[in-house]
Structure 1
Amino acid sequence: MKQMDIPENRVVKINYENADLSRPVKDLRPVVWVDEQGYSCILGPDPQEGIIGTGSSVDAALADWEQQLKERVRTAGPADELAQYVIDTLRMSKDDVW
C-alpha cells in the first residue's frame, strides 16, 4: 500500500511498540506530522483516498484518525482497496506464522 509522502522534517516519530497505543495504530502505523493547524496523521496515498485524522496534539490526531478509520471500514464497499487492506491487516494475528 502506498503511503503519502511527508517531508521528513515534519514527521513526528512514534514508537509503535508503545503499550499505550491502540492495536489499529500499532498494526497500521499511520504517519503523524506537524502542519499549520496542529497535528495530522494518515494511512494512504493522499488525503482524498486515505484515512486522515487531525488534532491539537499527537494523541488527539490519533484518536480522530481511529474514529475516521472505524467510519471508513463501516461504510466501505468491496471496491475500497484501503478499507479492505485495513480489514485484512486487523484480522491477521501477529501469531499467524506460515
Structure 2
Amino acid sequence: SLVATAELIYGTGVYEDALDVDMSFAKHAAANEYQVHGHRNYEGVPAEVNEHCFNLDGAVEMGGQLRALELSEDGFVTKMIASSKLL
C-alpha cells in the first residue's frame, strides 16, 4: 500500500472539506460514476448531495437518521429511518 496507515484510519483533510470533495467529484465524474460515503457530514447535507454523490451520515448516533442507499434498475433510492424508530 502506498497510503500511510494514519491516512487510512483518519482520512485526508478536515471535516469541513467534505462538501468540497463531493462537489469536485461530481464536476469530474463520468456519467456512470458515483461516490457513496458515510462520514464527514459537517454541513448536514441531505443523503443525495448531488447527482453523483451520496452522504449516508445522518448522525444516527446523535438522534438523527439511519441512512441507506438502494440501487435498482430504476436508479438510486435513499432510505432513511429516524433513530427513535430503531429502539
TM-score (norm 2): 0.30
Hey, which of these two has a bigger chunk of strand by percent? 2
Larger Rg: 2
Hey, which of these two has a bigger chunk of helix by percent? 1
